[in-house]
Amino acid sequence: MSLNAALPSYASGTSTTPLLGDTIGGNLARTVAAHPDRDALVDRASGLRLTYAEFGAEVQRVALGLLDLGVVQGDRVGLWSPNRSEWVLVQYATARIGAVLVNINPAYRTHELEYVLNQAGVSVLVAAPSFKTSDYAGMIERVRGKCPDLREAVLFDGPAWDALLAAGDGGDPGRLAGIEATLSPDDPVNIQYTSGTTGFPKGATLSHHNILNNGFSVGELLGYTEADRVCIPVPFYHCFGMVMGNLAATTHGACMVIPGPGFDPATALDAVQAERCTSLYGVPAMFIAELALPDFDSYDLSTLRTGIMAGSPCPVEVMRQVIDRMGMAEVSICYGMTETSPVSTQTRTDDSVERRVSTVGRVGPHLEVKVVDPDSGVTVPRGTPGELCTRGYSVMLGYWNEPDRTAEVIDAGRWMHTGDLAVMDHDGYVGITGRIKDMVIRGGENVYPREVEEVLYTHPDLLDAQVIGVPDHRYGEELMVWVRMRDGAEPLTADALRAFCEGRIAHYKIPRYVHVVDEFPMTVTGKVRKVEMREEAVRLLDAGLI
């Protein structure tokens, strides 16, 4: 033990598989040549099905159409839409012409749209006309006069999109080939805005090299081949969808299956069944919703082999059900952040179930991770909590036009500081214990919400639980848990919670307050907005409602 305790919390990902030196367009061309007749893209909502040969041709058509609109290398092209086939076509088309794709969160409202369009200097915006309660067309019109760089807005299903495709049909493939010959894998290709749970969102700027290799690496560790069919119900605007989903598939000749424009548990499982999917993606909340379907057992999920659960901490009990009830024996946990393209650590398909339910795996190929003391920056011994940092090909170029904010998170050694609390064990497996900002200090004791939540997930009446810190005169902070109850269960009381936790966790870790809700405030990517929960909790406590 003394030897292990002395090991530093540092690990590097060795690999006999070299990094890809392609641009995204160059890599796609190789896949199209190798697997022209295999399914590339299935959009369940529209009924569209494309082989790789057809997909490559459609991407070229959109690329030539964008060139006809006057888009040149380095221009920022905004994309504001839920999941649909056109989203994927624009993703690869912008990469082929050297434009920088700016992903716009489908949940944004007018002021957020205006901010992103101006901050990134978007010249052409491609968007869906509407989705659910969002009137994208109307919001675009309201901001056009406030966005001087924006010169074109192209709406799917409208005359401008039809004209773009028609122009692409008459475009010159030789012109496109000439442009592609000038592109470098290190060129910026994508700007993804962070969730912006506090302040204005930051635009993480990613290169071809960043995201192409990360998608490839994720697919390699999942064992993808051209025989795989990947169900992608997570949003394309986020790395989970467009990198871990789309780029993982296209670097291996696998098929991308879009179950629908937005997440619906029944639609996702129906797509798995109908398309014989081998892989299914989701954040924990998605898998919880799928498992909770009354007719869950009626779906034929026998083709599922693998998949990814990521985006937020994955409850142990949910993970076990995904393996046992969904048959995803090789399901993987991925951990990362937008700024790292996104995946830094991942469990392997041959890891034990215990490893896959209790850690976020080991460092990925060609990457480095370390755990440091948040104050001193010194690497801590294995088994000691600290801040997780990562370095390597995946670290972003920087925040778009914000060098000061970039310098706050990427140090002089090119280490990305994640803000996440982690512990590395003696075998190099990493456990995430929470966000540095989420850690609760109760009476001088550090309490990590994740540890408490894992205990609460074993309560038979709880569907989900989220622990936060709230102000307290005596202890500085006290613990509160927000819970979602299973159908038919009695609402949980503070006394009942205390009785359940006695003997399972230390007394100071038992939440004092319980708040029963139907849903948690969430980002579009499925991350719980604990900042919003704390604000609401303070209001409820001040009003004497809890």
Largest Cα–Cα distance in the chain? 73
**Given the DSSP bridges, would you call strands 476-485 and 462-472 parallel, antiparallel or unpaired?**
antiparallel
Residue 279 has pLDDT above 90, yes or no: yes
The DSSP H or E segment spanning 167 is helix 159-169
Residue 164 has pLDDT above 80, yes or no: yes
Write out pLDDT tens, residues 343-390.
Answer: 999 999 999 888 988 899 999 999 999 999 998 999 999 999 999 999
pLDDT of residue 525: 67
- In 3D space, the residue among 26, 366, 88, 91 whose CA is nearest the CA of residue 214 turns out to be 366
| Residues 6+ away with beta carbon under 8 Å from 133 | none
Residue 227 has pLDDT above 80, yes or no: yes
Measured CA to CA, the distance from residue 348 to residue 9 in angstroms comes to 20
Q: CA dist 19 to 209, 215, 224, Å?
A: 9, 11, 16
Contact 223, 191 (CB under 8 A): no
Residue 505 has pLDDT above 90, yes or no: no
Question: Which pLDDT band holds residue 433 (cuts at 50, 70, 90)?
Answer: confident
The DSSP H or E segment spanning 191 is strand 188-193
Residue 503 has pLDDT above 90, yes or no: no
Residue 471 has pLDDT above 70, yes or no: yes
| Residues 6+ away with beta carbon under 8 Å from 39 | 49, 50, 51, 52, 229, 255
Give the residue with greater pLDDT, 526 vs 270: 270
End-to-end CA distance of the chain: 46
Q: Which residue has the tokens 């030539």?
A: 64
Q: What is the pTM of this model?
A: 0.86
Burial of 342 (0-12, 13-18, 19+ CB in 10 A): buried
pLDDT of residue 1: 42
Q: Where are the domains of the chain?
A: 24-424, 438-542
pLDDT of residue 196: 47
Residue 342 has pLDDT above 90, yes or no: yes
Which residues sit opposite 11 in a β-bridge?
A: 369
Measured CA to CA, the distance from residue 40 to residue 255 in angstroms comes to 4
| Amino acid (1-letter code) at residue 462 | L
Write out pLDDT tens, residues 43-92.
Answer: 999 999 999 999 999 999 999 999 999 999 999 999 999 999 999 999 99
Measured CA to CA, the distance from residue 173 to residue 374 in angstroms comes to 52
Average pLDDT over residues 389-417: 97
Contact 112, 105 (CB under 8 A): yes
Contact 63, 97 (CB under 8 A): yes
pLDDT of residue 532: 92
Q: Do 24-424 and 438-542 agree at the fold level?
A: no
Residue 138 has pLDDT above 80, yes or no: yes
Contact 14, 4 (CB under 8 A): no
CATH no. for 24-424: 3.40.50.12780
Contact 98, 146 (CB under 8 A): no
Question: Which pLDDT band holds residue 445 (cuts at 50, 70, 90)?
Answer: confident
Fold category of 438-542 in CATH: GMP Synthetase; Chain A, domain 3 (3.30.300)
> Cα dihedral sign for 19, 23, 26, 31?
positive
| Token pair in block for residue 200 | 């204005």
Measured CA to CA, the distance from residue 7 to residue 373 in angstroms comes to 15
Could you say which DSSP state residue 152 is in?
E
The fraction of the chain above a pLDDT of 90, given in percent, is: 82
Give the residue with greater pLDDT, 287 vs 445: 287
Average pLDDT over residues 282-301: 94
Burial of 349 (0-12, 13-18, 19+ CB in 10 A): middle
